[in-house]
Every structure is written in structure tokens, then in C-alpha cells.
Amino acid sequence: MNRDAVASSNISSIGYDERAQTLEIEFTNGSVYQYYNVEATLFEQLMQAPSKGQFLHVYIKNAYPFSRVG
């Protein structure tokens, strides 16, 4: 999955597969997580959020199934 670099203190890059509804987050420590069943509108809101880390924590982290993939 292709990821785009983002301006964040703890997230390096973010990718999204709309067909699979999978959000992929690479953190600054090098770990990569995929979050499943994430709607495209939520991904768009994440990308527009002034604090991507805070948005992830509040709206995605404990609300969607995930796995560490890297």
C-alpha cells in the first residue's frame, strides 16, 4: 500500500485502500499498523485533521480492528 508522508510528531505516513477499507499508519518509531473497516470519509477527515495523532487516538484507535504489520 502506498503511504503519503504527513506532518505529525508521532505519525510518519498514512495510506488507505478504499476497496478494502484499510487504513495503514506508519509511526515515527518505524512500526506499521493496519486498521480495518475504516470508511473513506473517516480517512479523509483524518487527513484534514490538524492533529493526526489526536484524531487517530480519539476516533480510530479503539474503535476499529487492527493488526501490526511492520
Residue 32 belongs to domain spanning: 4-68
Q: What is the pLDDT of residue 36?
A: 98
Interval 2-43: pLDDT, tens: 999 999 999 999 999 999 999 999 999 999 999 999 999 999
Q: What is the pLDDT of residue 10?
A: 95
- Are 27 and 35 within 8 A, CB to CB? no
Relative to beta strand 32-36, strand 4-5 is unpaired
Q: What is the pLDDT of residue 27?
A: 97
The CA angle 10-14-18, to the nearest 5 degrees, is: 150
41, 32, 13, 47: CA torsion to nearest 10 = 20
Q: What is the pLDDT of residue 21?
A: 98
| Lookup: cell for 43 | 480517512
Q: What is the pLDDT of residue 35?
A: 98
Q: How many domains does the structure of the chain reveal? A: 1
Is the C-alpha dihedral spanning 46, 12, 8, 61 positive or negative? positive
pTM reported for the whole predicted model? 0.95
